[in-house]
Amino acid sequence: MKLTHLLLLPALLVASVETPFEISPSQAQVSFTLGDVLHTVHGTFALKHGNLRFDPETGKAGGEIVVDAASGQSGSAGRDKRMHANILESARYPEIAFHPDRVEGKVAADGPSDVKLHGIFSIHGGEHELTVPTHVDAVGGHYTATAHFVVPYVQWGMKNPSTFVLRVSDKVDIDVHLVAQAATASQ
């Protein structure tokens, strides 16, 4: 072995390792809130799949959290039909995704943590840089994460469904609740 390789060995032994996590779609909750002048519209989306990996030492992250765009429901069949056909165009853009690239702050192995998850949010054919404040509760290798962020959907190229009589916000609030656990070799 060359001397240069021996000098690099200690650095390789203490190199940070990314920790992989699988997100449970059945325990996920993705909801939206859209305000208008008469009332507030609440709805949900279904998580298709999700995984996350991050290096606790460097904050480097990867993975993806993917939502089924066509699963969006607000409790009104007519409103949902317009949302999918005219705003989200979910037949053309079937997925909404977040691809994290770093975690700002430290995630505790046990107990609560408040971090910021930075990455690329993909919706309606566009990619947008986003930093999401995230609260994480860790207990025995299971992690529950809750996050709130705002999507300026009109600014990002989607149509505003407002009419002459009905005026809605040009931004939609998103709330996410995810449950993850460390991925095992068999996953």
Task: Please report whether residue 89 resides in a domain.
Answer: yes
pTM attached to this predicted model: 0.86
CA 96 remoteness from chain centre: 9
In a domain, 8, yes or no: no
Tens place of pLDDT for every residue, the chain, 187 residues?
Answer: 443 343 444 433 334 567 789 999 999 999 999 987 778 999 999 999 999 998 988 999 999 999 999 999 999 999 999 999 999 999 999 999 999 999 999 999 899 999 999 999 999 999 999 999 999 999 988 999 999 999 999 999 999 988 777 788 999 999 999 999 987 654 4
Q: Is residue 3 part of a domain?
A: no
In a domain, 10, yes or no: no
Alpha carbon separation from 100 to 24, 113, 156 (Å, rounded): 17, 17, 19
- What the block records as the tokens of 45 is 């989306």
Q: In this structure, is residue 61 part of a structural domain? A: yes
Q: Is 7 within the bounds of a domain? A: no
Neighbours of 29 (CB within 10 A): 14
Report yes or no on 35 lying in a domain: yes
- Structural domain boundaries, residue 56: 17-182
Domain CATH number, residue 110 = 2.40.128.110
The number of domains in the chain is 1
